[in-house]
Chains A and B, each alone.
Chain A
Amino acid sequence: MPDATDPGIRPRLRPLPLPAGVRDRLARHAEAAWPAEACGILVGRADAGRDAPVDDAIPLPNLAGHPDRAWRLDPLAIAARVPPGGRLLGFWHSHPDRSPLPSRRDVALALPGFWQVVIAVSGGRAGARAAWRPVRADAPRQEDSPWPA
């Protein structure tokens, strides 16, 4: 029976490279913010291009009016948090007590070309992740969809 590891099935997809250390940091940031949504940025090396592996998940303040069900980053604060020689690869946020699938608003507001990683936190413990990267601004269509990340 074919499965996800079968090379015959859609071999063109490339998953988001999220090393174990980054996954752990992401989980800790998300757990610390629970029951509110945590959010932040994903950074990699500038010289490795847009498909660079993620080297770090950095937390930023959640400025949303309802941090229990929404998240918002200050876009002007981002540049200061990308380390020298680093590159912004995408954004992450947590879903307290629900699945890591993006909400409609998560999709509608996602910046094309940047990874979005969502991590579920259930009862204060980090769980499943989902990652995706929108291709176009006006479409629900996405590229590279390793479920889960």
Chain B
Amino acid sequence: MARVTFRLPEPLRELAGGASSVSVEGGSLREALDRLAAEAPLLAGRLLADDGRVRPYVHLYMDGRDARDPDSVPPLRGDVEIAVVPSIAGGRPAPGPALTPEERARYHRQMILPEVGEAGQRRLRSASVLVVGAGGLGSPAALYLAAAGVGRLGLVDSDAVDASNLHRQVLHDTPAVGRAKVEVASERLGRLNPSVEIETHAVRLDASNAMELFGRGWDLVLDGSDNFPTRYLVNDACVLLGIPLVYGAILRFEGQVSLFAAPGGPCYRCLFREPPPPGLVPGCAEAGVLGPLPGLVGSIQAAEALKWLLGAGRPLTGRLLLVDAAEMTFREVAVRRDPACPLCGDAPTITGPIDYEAFCGGPGDGGPDTESSAADGTGPEGELPFEIGVEELRDRLAAGASLQLVDVREAEEREISDLRGVAGIRHIPMGELTVRYGELDPERETVVYCRSGARSGRAVEFLRDRGLAGARNLRGGMNEWVERVDPSQPRY
């Protein structure tokens, strides 16, 4: 049995009540660490991982000898001093061997950028990027990443090339119709830059294979997927594994790009806690897409990926870029990490992949036509009731009540029916609520409505979660209003 004294440097003293050392009894270093865990759990939690191993940034020295592996230290006797030394360090790995003359010739035009140079090009060569989807977004992104000399590219896609893909998916051409996309892509990228190592996965990404696939040592993941289950899965896997994610999405004339899961930055769930109801946001197959739009968005994704790998410029962390090709405008919305995020927040509830099909539209999620289970019209004492009836709304509007009115329907629906003659209605379609709710005054009583009260019910739940305690759902929605208050308008 020995008396073991752990000497603490300044950064760790706070965890031991300010003491510069902590002493415990123990016959071995392992036993002493166990005793430390019992007597100074805060300190021990910082030094040891859950499996009992010494954390990567902590070094233990006994008489100047490395004691990081406690189980290899011989039994202790007498008075023993252990110096606890945290690594207060950081940096980047070595950038690999020098470039060949061929490489210098090929990459010359980007290497003359001061942000790239010889060191940056070597960094790209030692980098690896996983591209999810070899379609509209993945095509331009993978082409630019391979052309730029990113050393290792992964491609995941289970689809075959279809003639209807060719107006936008520029990796593929007419003779490729019917062949597996990843195979065609691999050949095309190999011809473009034979020095790039290409890894293909002709599988449908799902919760059963994502962690294994994402865990294969990627520096970055680029999401070119076209559906919500995959988008949430990609985000979750990236956050859980600590891999930055270049997100991109497109529809019709509009696109979004951001960088998620970067250290300190938000994730997709911080922005969109839940997927929109099934059917609310159509896919490209139903809604259509202008061919160059994925070219534009996928190229922006590739630029963000290269910037991140090079450490150049200002990344899109904390910013959601909104591209509108119809107006040809670019604007951005600030996105902050949400401490209450179920995935990357301070107390996460999602610790592994979930059932994404069910999450994004399985039974119970409710489409626009189902009744919202929360819309029962009652609320805890002292709060405004969750719902408001159409007659009450009519009477209060007639009495000049100061209400904030929010229509969460799509623009087409507003042309069918509306609260005619009422001024100051705010139109925030359901799909934009998570980024635009900040436009609302949280202090005011707010009535939210849609067609039937289902979507607006979810909107009110969302708003109340964000502290808008005065948010209320119009029971029965516009159809109820038409039925009981204004029969001059059509129901739909």
Task: Tell me if B437 is interfacial: C-beta within 8 Å of chain A.
Answer: yes
B167: min CB distance to chain A, Å: 32
Q: Which A residues fall within an 8 A CB radius of B?
A: 1-4, 6-10, 12-13, 37, 64, 66, 69-73, 75-76, 78-79, 82, 88, 91, 93, 95, 97-99, 101-103, 105-114, 123, 128, 130, 132, 135, 137-143, 145, 147
* Interface of chain A: mostly helix, strand, loop or mixed: loop
Q: Can you give 12 contacting A-B residue pairs, CB < 8 Å?
A: A71-B89, A72-B88, A76-B83, A78-B10, A88-B11, A101-B308, A135-B346, A137-B46, A137-B49, A141-B348, A143-B346, A147-B265
B321: min CB distance to chain A, Å: 13
Once the chains bind, are B318 and A98 in contact (CB under 8 Å)?
Answer: no
Once the chains bind, are A130 and B333 in contact (CB under 8 Å)?
Answer: no
Question: What 16 additional pairs, Cβ within 8 angstroms, besides A2-B334, A78-B9?
Answer: A2-B439, A10-B337, A12-B339, A13-B336, A37-B91, A70-B89, A73-B88, A75-B10, A75-B85, A98-B311, A99-B312, A105-B93, A108-B57, A137-B57, A140-B261, A141-B345
A22: min CB distance to chain B, Å: 19
Shortest Cβ distance from B50 into A: residue: A138
B348: min CB distance to chain A, Å: 7
List, in ascending order, chain B residues with CB within 8 A of A110's CB.
57, 90
List, in ascending order, chain A residues with CB within 8 A of B435's CB.
2
Shortest Cβ distance from B441 into A: residue: A8
Once the chains bind, are A105 and B92 in contact (CB under 8 Å)?
Answer: yes
Once the chains bind, are A140 and B11 in contact (CB under 8 Å)?
Answer: no
Give A135 to B264 CA distance when docked, in angstroms. Answer: 10
Shortest Cβ distance from A130 into B: residue: B264
Give 6 closest A-B pairs by Cβ, nearest first: A70-B91, A8-B438, A140-B242, A106-B90, A145-B264, A98-B311
Once the chains bind, are A93 and B438 in contact (CB under 8 Å)?
Answer: no
Once the chains bind, are A145 and B337 in contact (CB under 8 Å)?
Answer: yes
**B90 touches which one: A7, A103, A113, A138 (CB < 8 A)?**
A103
Task: Tell me if B338 is interfacial: C-beta within 8 Å of chain A.
Answer: yes
What 0/1 pattern do residues 338 to 366 of B give for CB contact below 8 A with A?
A: 11000011101000000000000000000
List, in ascending order, chain B residues with CB within 8 A of A145's CB.
264-265, 318, 336-337
List, in ascending order, chain A residues with CB within 8 A of B265's CB.
145, 147
B452: min CB distance to chain A, Å: 27
Once the chains bind, are A132 and B440 in contact (CB under 8 Å)?
Answer: no
**B263 touches which one: A101, A114, A137 (CB < 8 A)?**
A101
List, in ascending order, chain A residues with CB within 8 A of B313's CB.
99
Task: Tell me if B190 is interfacial: C-beta within 8 Å of chain A.
Answer: no
Once the chains bind, are B337 and A97 in contact (CB under 8 Å)?
Answer: no
Question: Which residues in window 288-329 of B have CB below 8 A to A?
Answer: 307-308, 310-315, 317-318
Give A38 to B46 CA distance when docked, in angstroms. Answer: 26
Once the chains bind, are B312 and A98 in contact (CB under 8 Å)?
Answer: yes
Most buried by A among B45, B90, B337, B348: B90
A91-B88 contact in complex given A75-B9, A147-B317, C-beta closer than 8 Å: yes
List, in ascending order, chain B residues with CB within 8 A of A123's CB.
114
For chain B, give the interface size range. Answer: 35 or more
Once the chains bind, are A140 and B263 in contact (CB under 8 Å)?
Answer: yes
A72-B339 contact in complex given A101-B311, A137-B55, A143-B346, C-beta closer than 8 Å: no
Once the chains bind, are B49 and A4 in contact (CB under 8 Å)?
Answer: no
Question: Which residues in window 408-457 of B have CB below 8 A to A?
Answer: 435-440, 442
Shortest Cβ distance from B343 into A: residue: A141
List, in ascending order, chain B residues with CB within 8 A of A107's CB.
242, 263
Once the chains bind, are A128 and B310 in contact (CB under 8 Å)?
Answer: no
Once the chains bind, are A132 and B264 in contact (CB under 8 Å)?
Answer: yes
Give A146 to B450 CA distance when docked, in angstroms. Answer: 36
Once the chains bind, are B264 and A142 in contact (CB under 8 Å)?
Answer: yes
Question: Which residues in window 234-266 of B have CB below 8 A to A?
Answer: 239, 242, 261-265
Shortest Cβ distance from A99 into B: residue: B311
Once the chains bind, are B86 and A111 in contact (CB under 8 Å)?
Answer: yes
Once the chains bind, are B438 and A9 in contact (CB under 8 Å)?
Answer: yes
Once the chains bind, are B344 and A8 in contact (CB under 8 Å)?
Answer: no
What 0/1 pattern do residues 371 to 383 of B give for CB contact below 8 A with A?
A: 0000000000000
**A97 touches which one: B88, B114, B334 (CB < 8 A)?**
B114
**A76 touches which one: B85, B242, B318, B333 (CB < 8 A)?**
B85
**B315 touches which one: A37, A95, A101, A138 (CB < 8 A)?**
A101
**A99 touches which one: B264, B315, B437, B439 (CB < 8 A)?**
B315
Give A99 to B87 CA distance when docked, in angstroms. Answer: 23
Task: Tell me if B65 is interfacial: C-beta within 8 Å of chain A.
Answer: no
Once the chains bind, are A72 and B314 in contact (CB under 8 Å)?
Answer: no
Give A6 to B83 CA distance when docked, in angstroms. Answer: 48
A112: min CB distance to chain B, Å: 6
Task: Tell me if B331 is interfacial: C-beta within 8 Å of chain A.
Answer: yes
Once the chains bind, are A71 and B91 in contact (CB under 8 Å)?
Answer: yes
B437: min CB distance to chain A, Å: 6
Once the chains bind, are A69 and B337 in contact (CB under 8 Å)?
Answer: no
Give A110 to B337 CA distance when docked, in angstroms. Answer: 19
List, in ascending order, chain B residues with CB within 8 A of A95's CB.
311
Give A65 to B180 CA distance when docked, in angstroms. Answer: 48
A1-B264 contact in complex given A73-B88, A106-B91, A137-B55, C-beta closer than 8 Å: no
Give A2 to B94 CA distance when docked, in angstroms. Answer: 41
Once the chains bind, are B10 and A111 in contact (CB under 8 Å)?
Answer: no
Task: Tell me if B56 is interfacial: C-beta within 8 Å of chain A.
Answer: yes
Shortest Cβ distance from A148 into B: residue: B314
Give A93 to B88 CA distance when docked, in angstroms. Answer: 10
**B331 touches which one: A1, A4, A13, A105 (CB < 8 A)?**
A1
A114: min CB distance to chain B, Å: 6
List, in ascending order, chain B residues with CB within 8 A of A139's CB.
242
